[in-house]
């Protein structure tokens, strides 16, 4: 099985989740290309059986580099005739979308648009989004410290913690079995 893990992380939380996914996939005996999105990144999304895509949440959306990547690659696939109306399904191709989020104001509701935004790229390509993972991630910048202690999710200092990451690893195992 060919697996891709495409992610963006500004303060390191999503990177920890991404590393957990990579390790779990490799332990199951599959190859995985782990790629941090960047300005000039070109990725052949149609050559993978399973794609994980994730980002931290910033103003309800993925981080800017992920938004820019999705915008650019969407246009590439439109021009190439790979994104067409009705988005016919590509058999056997699956995507799992994940985010880390702080949810200080409205909880998980402020992370949902980010995950839906990322997922639509794959849905448009006919790649089924089989799951969405929302992992809590503390606010690192000092000026947002109160968001990590008195926000809607309570005290999220130290998240994602070992328990969060173990849960991610277990979900990877479960989903790749399917």
Which residues are at the interface with ligand FMN (CB under 6 A)? 9-14, 56-60, 63, 100-103, 110-111, 137-139, 141, 144
Question: Using CA atoms, how far apart are residues 118 and 100, in angstroms rounded to an integer?
Answer: 13
Could you tell me the two tokens for 84?
A: 């067409």
Kindly tell me which of 124 and 152 has the beta carbon lying closer to ligand FMN.
Answer: 152
Question: Residue 169: left (phi > 0), alpha (psi -120 to 50), or beta?
Answer: alpha
Kindly tell me which of 11 and 120 has the beta carbon lying closer to ligand FMN.
Answer: 11
* Least Å from the CB of residue 11 to ligand FMN: 3
Residue 162 φ then ψ, to 5°: -60, -40
Question: Using CA atoms, how far apart are residues 62 and 55, in angstroms rounded to an integer?
Answer: 6
Residue 173 φ then ψ, to 5°: -60, -45
* Least Å from the CB of residue 157 to ligand FMN: 11
Kindly tell me which of 63 and 119 has the beta carbon lying closer to ligand FMN.
Answer: 63
Kindly tell me which of 48 and 98 has the beta carbon lying closer to ligand FMN.
Answer: 98
* Least Å from the CB of residue 6 to ligand FMN: 13
Cα–chain center distance at 109: 16
């Amino acid at each position: 099985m060919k697996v891709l893990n495409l992610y963006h992380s500004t303060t390191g939380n999503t990177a920890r989740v991404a590393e957990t996914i990579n390790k779990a996939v490799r332990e199951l005996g599959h190859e995985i290309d782990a790629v941090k999105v960047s300005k000039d990144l070109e990725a052949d999304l149609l050559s993978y059986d399973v794609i994980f895509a994730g980002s931290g949440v910033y103003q309800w959306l993925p981080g800017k580099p992920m938004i820019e990547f999705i915008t650019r690659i969407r246009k590439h696939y439109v021009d190439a005739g790979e994104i067409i109306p009705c988005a016919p399904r590509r058999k056997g191709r699956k995507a799992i979308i994940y985010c880390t989020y702080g949810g200080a104001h409205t909880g998980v509701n402020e992370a949902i648009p980010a995950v839906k935004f990322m997922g639509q790229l794959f849905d448009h390509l006919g790649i089924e989004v089989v799951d969405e993972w929302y992992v809590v991630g503390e606010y690192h910048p000092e000026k947002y410290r109160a968001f990590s202690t008195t926000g809607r999710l309570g005290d999220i200092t130290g998240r994602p913690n070992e328990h969060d990451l173990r849960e991610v690893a277990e979900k990877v195992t479960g989903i790749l079995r399917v």
